[in-house]
Structure 1
Amino acid sequence: MITVPEGTDVVEATASLLAEGVGDGLPVVPPTPSRVSTMLAGTPDTVLGHVPPLFGSLTPRLVATCCVLAGAPPAAFPVVLAAATACLAPELNLLGVATTTGTAAVAMIVAGPVATRVGLTHGTGMLGPGPHTNGVVGRALALTLATAGGAWPGTTTMATTAQPARYTCCLAEDPDGPWGTSPDTVTVLAIGGTAEVLPRDDRPDPDAVLDPLADALAGAVRAAGDPARGADLTQAVVLPPEVAARLAPSFPTADDLADALRTRGDAALGGHPCAAAILPIVAGGPGIKMLHLPGWMGGSRAVTLPM
């Protein structure tokens, strides 16, 4: 059981836990019994599954402990628990994500009123520092997967460089987007990084937005060196509200937009698939700079669970 005595300070807790292979190198909130119990809030403790690469047990108590370590608020516990459970779905291919020499990381997208209750932001700077809780919630998921899975650099995880999203990557969907928002859900997907994408110009027609996004989708597959890799991955595009508003008149649903992007991305690859699925997400602050979350080229599909 991962706990430290009441009154343990941050420096001591961080050092002692890291020596046991628990942590991410950043300071942690000491997981004292009282803090873990408060986070767990009476949730029955049971084994929900086993997390690769070493297939340790995923339990609510472990998730609660990692939420404490990360500094997440108690309201985040059920969200992180759902996200960690979603990561066990075979189509995510967490074993591959955890052991690849590539840069794969698990990103987490929260939709519905739960995002507001947790304190997540869908606005300016959502993936960066700020007063919002995106960073600590994403970190709680990363710590959960690493702790339960026994993932440790140089032993079970062999990423040549890794990437910052392995510390945390969590964003919320804008509930006021033109395609609406789902009820409370959490989605997890494996990404190779993040990349900025700009519309070609300010013309109102959709080509100015779709063409550079399609180039980004196709470019991620090209960079992997094998056009067949696009057939088994999810790629995501994050559209700031004003860009989404430009596209909405031409695409009544997010699925319509995803289909159009897939058609163009496939064409840019000479008929090879740019993705098995494309996930459009409306989020971000003012501006037109979009974000591409390239899928992990080892093969991984997004998984969504209701809260």
Structure 2
Amino acid sequence: MRTVPEGTDVVDATATLLAAGIGDGLPVVPPTPSRVDAVLGGTADPDAVLGAVPPLFGELTPRLAATCCVLAGAPPAALPVVLAAASACLAPEVNMLGVATTTGTAAIALIVTGPVAHRLGLTHGTGMLGPGTHSNGAVGRALALTLATAGGAAPGVTAMATTAQPARYTCCLAEDPDGPWGTLARRVSEVPSRTLNVRNGTSLPHPAAPNAVTVLPIGGTAEVLPRDDRPDPDAVLDPLADALAGAVLAAGDPARGRGMTQAVVLPPEVAARLAPFGDPRTALRERADAALRARTGADHASAAEVLAIVAGGPGIKMLHLPGWTGGSRAVTVPT
């Protein structure tokens, strides 16, 4: 991964790197040796190969990820999070080759759990996926640049998305640590086979960790509103289930729903309405499956796995992150 000489300005650095196939088209922070070294800090082996990234299976190394953190303007302390997330993308469940080369709109969403989110300046509150003083955009961009640079993703050459989507630049949010059902870190212990040892491609169990990252290939984002303000759960769960079912129906073949993870993001006041009725994941999946089967008549139609993430500011407007219809599941690893 190349650096630029000390003192190179933003315009020159951006143009030089884009000509070499590095970057996303937006201005970058010049990756000078001193800046990259500051991000690497005490990294024991900056050139250790942690895996091969599709589509061209280039090497993922701490040095490459550190350079991409600089390019993106991410905090230096973001390197462990970006490396953990990039490594998680190499798990077979993610199907990174398909995500990178599809003609569809697949992009990687990054959800950060635990105290590390606060240390990096990430927010789980108002405007978390939009502009602001928080680091969400820069950290998500660092991950996207790392995957594209190591993997050799180039629009029209190896990345063939018909339209793509803005989340290919960045999509990163923190998870509210005070959600009523625990955080996504629980997935580390619930599904140990999803924690990947990227050095040899084998899966190893890990205890649940307070800090974790979840990578989730998504097809976009969509707003969902409760049906009314009654305290019963149906007013919240039914519109969400309709959104989950709609994403499967939009895939053309309802069987594709079994191959993807979908997520719903619930702002705290909506989560508080649902809290007395228990973890909504099972209810959402069952309601979405019922809606699919009623619509299609197919017993195999299913919304499969659903993640419920508590995040967002004041308000009742929820967010649906539809899964990628090409077949991809979320992966959570400790960091």
Same fold, TM-score > 0.5, yes or no: yes
**C-alpha distance in 1, partners of 2:33/2:221?**
37
Identity %: 82
Do 1:36 and 1:64's aligned partners in 2 also have CA atoms closer than 8 Å? yes
**2:149 and 2:252 mapped to 1: Cα distance?**
33
Aligned partner letter, 1:48 = L
Q: Distance in 2 between matches of 1:58 and 1:7?
A: 27
Where does residue 231 of structure 1 map in the other structure? 258
The match for 1:217 is 244
Q: Does 1:195 align with 2:197?
A: no
User: Aligned to 1:269, what secondary structure does the other structure show?
Assistant: helix
Which of 310, 314, 317 is equivalent to 1:289?
Answer: 317
Q: 2:164 aligns with which of 162, 165, 169?
A: 162
Matched residue, 1:25:
25
User: Per-residue displacement from partner, 1:83-131 (whole Å, max 9, x unpaired)?
Assistant: 0010010100000000000000000000011100010000000000000
State the TM-score, normalizing by the size of structure 2.
Answer: 0.89
Shift of 1:47: 0.1
* Equivalent runs, 1:11-50 vs 2, <5 Å: 11-43=11-43, 44-45=45-46, 46-50=48-52
- C-alpha displacement of 1:197: 0.2
Counterpart of 1:149 (choices 148, 151, 156) is: 151
Whether the 8 Å contact between 1:265 and 1:273 is mirrored in structure 2 is: no
Whole-angstrom distance in 2 between the partners of 1:273 and 1:132: 40
CA RMSD in angstroms, aligned pairs only:
0.8
* Mapping of residues 79-90 of structure 1, within 5 Å: 79-90=81-92
1:111 aligned onto 2:139 = no
In structure 2, what is the Cα distance between the partners aligned to 1:274 and 1:3? Answer: 48
Q: Output one character per residue of 1:141-163: Cα deviation in whole Å (capped at 9) or x when no partner.
A: 00000000000000001000000
Identify which of 262, 272, 280 aligns with 1:257.
280
Q: Deviation digits for residues 38-70 of structure 1, max 9, x if unmatched?
A: 001121120000000000000000000000000
Secondary structure of the 2:83 match is helix
> Relative to structure 2, which stretch is displaced further, 272-281 or 100-109?
272-281
In 2, the alpha carbon distance for the partners of 1:42 and 1:33 equals 15
Count of residue correspondences: 303
Q: Helix, strand or coil for the counterpart of 1:7?
A: coil
2:274 matched residue in structure 1: 247
Paired residues of 1:31 and 1:65 also in contact (CA < 8 A): yes
Structure 1 runs of 4+ with >3 Å offset: 271-274
Q: Deviations over 1:15-56 (max 9, x none)?
A: 000000000000000000000000011211200000000000
Q: Which amino acid aligns with 1:111?
A: T
Do residues 268 (structure 1) and 291 (structure 2) align?
yes
The residue number in structure 1 matching 2:308 is 280
Q: Offset of 1:2 from its aligned partner? A: 1.3
Q: Which amino acid aligns with 2:41?
A: A
After TM superposition, give the deviation of residue 269 of structure 1 in Å.
0.4
Residue ranges of structure 1 left out of the alignment (5+ in a row): none
Q: Which moved more, 1:270-279 or 1:155-164?
A: 270-279
TM-score normalised to structure 1 length: 0.97
In structure 2, distance between residues paired with 1:81 and 1:87: 10
